Structure 1
């Protein structure tokens, strides 16, 4: 997964304890001093990097300081989006929205000021008090998504930031951490989260995953890990995402739901819930993907099924057409209810 050979370092990050710890993990890596983690011309914005997409993700690491700390309201996967302790990813999912923002490459950027971030989160959660009423996010806890722009299971291979967050939320009686993942990191089974961290295993049919989920854990491995994570004290939900409409898509999702029904034990099924997210794609990411993975675009870029909408950054997002998408959502959620009864859908869009 990782063979870190070059670390781009903000000097302020290298002075912090977590920064020194991360540098110590990769003693043979070349160090390149940078002014800011988000302004590295040879990584971001250079179209020549398309040809080195996966290599950069494998070999490069960025070490910086998170300067703006805020918890943004969400309301879907969580109540709040926590300030990130990392962004970017070593995996290379063809539909990932992060490359749209960062340019032609998005290796892991890890933030060394973890103490500031955890302190902010503890104070923010304390100000919320007790959740006044249940909602679709959680019946009792304020839920904070700690992995909006990265995969926490992979981030944990680089630093102890994710473990520090799990430890933090274990001690917050009114709050809970949450993150979606496509990677099975079994080292996390020893962290004793005491049901204060929700892991959302991202799933899709194996045929789609093989084409689109580059460098991730196989779907069968993710499913096999669910019981183990529940036993280890995590709350485990399903992130059915992205749902890609193509010939035979419902049949393949039905097989996936049957696999879940045959695999999951009573404890996992008793606490199970799912979020369902249909594909949103982007014209700029489409152009990038044509340079390194054009086969993926045969199912991701479907003008015959999709409608455009101008994005806030000036590009075009595409999603399945109004009217048709409603039928797709109803068909998939109905199939889930039939094949995996008891798994409630927290939201679907």
Structure 2
């Protein structure tokens, strides 16, 4: 997954304890000093790097300092989006929205000022007090998504930032951490989260995942991890996402839902919940994907089914046409009800 040969380092990050730990973890990697983790031309913003993405993700690592700390309200996966302790990813899913923010190759950037981040989060949780109105996010706890811009399971290969967050929330009785993942990192099983961290394993049919979920754990491996993570003290949910429409898509999802039921024990199924997210794609990402993985675009780019949607930032996204999307989503939810009736769908869009 990761074999860093070059670490791009902000000087301030190298002076912090976490920064030194990361550098010591990869002593043979070349160190390159940079002014900002946002501006590294050979990594970020060069679409000509498309064919080198996987190599860049495997061999490059960035070490920086998180400059601004805020917990943004969310309302779907979590109540708040926590300040990132990393961004970028070692994986290369063809539909991922994160690369658009920092240039498409976007290897892992680790933030070394973890003590500032955990301190901020502890204070933010304290200001919320006790949650008084249960909702679809959680019945009793404020939920903080700690992995909006990265995959925490992969981040844990690089530093102890994610472990520190799990340990932080273990001691916060009014809050939970939450993150989605496509990578099974069994080191997390030893962290004793005490049900204060929710792991959302992202799932899609294996036939689709082989084409779109590049460098991720096989879906069968993710399914096999559900019971183990629940037994280790995590709250385990699933993300059924993205739902990609193609010939035979409902049959593929039926097989996956049946496999989910076979993989999850009664104890796991009793606490299992799901998020359902239909595919949203992006025109610039589509054009870049054509340079390195055009087969993926046969599924992702469907002008016959999709319409343009402008994002809040002005980007050109595409989604399934409004009326059609409702029909597709209803068909999918009926499939879940028929083949995984134990699975509570927290939200679907």
Q: Per-residue displacement from partner, 1:297-318 (whole Å, max 9, x unpaired)?
A: 0000000000002233433100
Separation in 2, partners of 1:34, 1:129: 41
Q: Indicate whether 1:331 and 2:331 are aligned.
A: yes
Residue 92 of structure 1 aligns to a residue in which SS?
coil
Q: Which residue of 1 aligns with 2:288?
A: 288
The 8 Å contact of residues 94 and 289 in structure 2, kept in 1 or not, is answered as yes
Residue 55 of structure 1 aligns to a residue in which SS?
helix
Cα drift, residue 103 of structure 1? 1.4
Q: Per-residue displacement from partner, 1:114-156 (whole Å, max 9, x unpaired)?
A: 0000000000000000001100000000000000000000000
Q: CA RMSD in A?
A: 0.7
Q: TM-score, normalised by structure 1?
A: 0.99
Cα drift, residue 44 of structure 1? 1.1
Cα drift, residue 20 of structure 1? 0.1
Residue 302 of structure 2 aligns to a residue in which SS?
coil
Q: Which residue of 2 aligns with 1:275?
A: 275
Separation in 2, partners of 1:30, 1:136: 47
Q: Which residue of 1 aligns with 2:123?
A: 123
Pick which of 188-197 and 329-338 moved more: 329-338
Q: Which residue of 2 aligns with 1:206?
A: 206
**Uncovered stretches (5+) of structure 2, i.e. residues with no partner:** none
Q: Which residue of 2 aligns with 1:59?
A: 59
Q: Indicate whether 1:42 and 2:28 are aligned.
A: no
Separation in 2, partners of 1:313, 1:50: 23
Q: Which residue of 2 aligns with 1:171?
A: 171
Q: Which residue of 2 aligns with 1:236?
A: 236
**Uncovered stretches (5+) of structure 1, i.e. residues with no partner:** none
Separation in 2, partners of 1:73, 1:265: 34
Alignment of 1:1-349 (within 5 A): 1-349=1-349
Separation in 1, partners of 2:270, 2:46: 48
Residue 284 of structure 1 aligns to a residue in which SS?
helix
Separation in 2, partners of 1:263, 1:24: 39
Q: Per-residue displacement from partner, 1:149-201 (whole Å, max 9, x unpaired)?
A: 00000000000000000000000010000000000000100100000000000
Cα drift, residue 338 of structure 1? 1.1
Residue 93 of structure 1 aligns to a residue in which SS?
coil
